[in-house]
Copies of this chain bind each other. A is one copy, B any other.
Amino acid sequence: MTETQIQPQSINLIQAVNLAMDHAMAADPKVLALGEEVGDREEGGVMGVTKGLSTKYGDDRVKSTPISEQAIIGAAIGAAICGYRPVAEIMLMNFVTVAMDMITNHAAKLRFMSGGQTHVPIVIRTMTGSGFGTGGQHSDYLEAWFAHTPGIKVVAPSNPNDAYGLMRAAIEDDDPVIFIENLPSYWTPSEVTFEAIPIGKARVARAGTDVTIITHSLMVGHSLVAAQTLADAGISVEVIDLRTIAPWDRETVLAAVRKTGRALIVHEAVREFGIGAEIASTLHEALWDELKGPVKRLGGAFCPVPYSKPLETAFAPSADDIVATIKAMVAAH
């Protein structure tokens, strides 16, 4: 599935997802796209992620929809069990709440409940992110809900290369995949090699020996900044970009933490009952004798995402928070 003839290019995440869908649609006529405004008549998506696809592949394969999230996911599921591979867009992650029945009772379960007779190879693209004053109903991070739902995979790229590679893999995957795009990450270009990236494999974003940060999406960038600051202070930090949240890459994460003996999990989602809890618990169970101290977690504040700038900024972990937490960890144990 890799387009070997394509030269690496520096593009942003919007372009990377666009090209991944484009290449997948060119390679396989069963790949479809649907969602509010995804067609070119509506400018190819509010963020332009699907721009050009309906013109290239036709209005039957790329369908703009009414504002009907249940029907959007339902239509994707129905087409999928008939052999198609729809990429459905739910404009913002908060709006998956309207379609949770379709996603968790149907997409996630049809393979199991049918004893493997049907399966649902859909990708649900959705976007979230704070920093734009959109307030409590537009910036939630709900990956933990889906990770707790057997039958669904969850991926969250932190950069354009991963976005391309994970989208190609997600479309090829025979199971439903939630593909989480991060709004503030959309416009930063970097090199994309146009290769599929396997679902379920994490990436070592920076090697280090004293502390391991396990993170994903926007927080990878913050963690790398923090790691640099800490390096200057003599603390060597390894940063693992999960890429896939469910099923998460235990092997890579355990190996990394075994090496450093200290782990910090960082995510934007509310810390309480977030995905960090599962990873931390697993690490404690698996590496009880090897950990130098307890695994720590940083996450969003326990409140809806607030509007006012200082509150919104304080909501999610910052590079400074990461630095301070790691310094305390190293000092304590």
The listed residue (B112, B145, B269, B281) touching A276 by CB distance below 8 A is B281
CB distance from A280 to the nearest CB of B (A): 4
Residue pair A97, B100 in contact (C-beta under 8 Å): yes
- Against B, the Cβ 8 Å flags (1 = close, 0 = not) of A275-319 are 111101100110010000111110000111010000000000000
The listed residue (B94, B105, B135, B273) touching A278 by CB distance below 8 A is B273
How far apart are the CA atoms of A295 and B272 in the complex, in Å?
17
A55 touches B (CB below 8 Å): no
Copies of the protein in its oligomer: 2
The listed residue (B101, B148, B288) touching A270 by CB distance below 8 A is B148
CB distance from A156 to the nearest CB of B (A): 15
> Contacts A113-B136, A284-B280 known; A150 to B98 CB distance under 8 Å?
no
- Against B, the Cβ 8 Å flags (1 = close, 0 = not) of A86-105 are 00000000110110110111
Given contacts A148-B269, A150-B304, 6 further A-B contacts (CB under 8 A): A148-B274, A150-B270, A150-B272, A277-B277, A277-B278, A281-B281
Which A residues are closer than 8 A to B by beta carbons? 94-95, 97-98, 100-101, 103-105, 108-109, 112-113, 135-137, 140, 144-145, 147-151, 246, 269-270, 272-278, 280-281, 284-285, 288, 293-297, 302-304, 306
Could you pull out 25 A-B pairs where Cβ atoms are within 8 angstroms?
A94-B105, A97-B100, A97-B104, A100-B100, A109-B136, A109-B137, A112-B136, A112-B303, A112-B304, A113-B137, A144-B273, A147-B272, A147-B273, A148-B270, A148-B272, A148-B273, A148-B274, A150-B270, A150-B302, A272-B278, A273-B275, A277-B278, A281-B281, A285-B294, A285-B296
Q: Which 4 A-B pairs have the closest CB atoms?
A: A277-B277, A148-B273, A97-B100, A97-B101
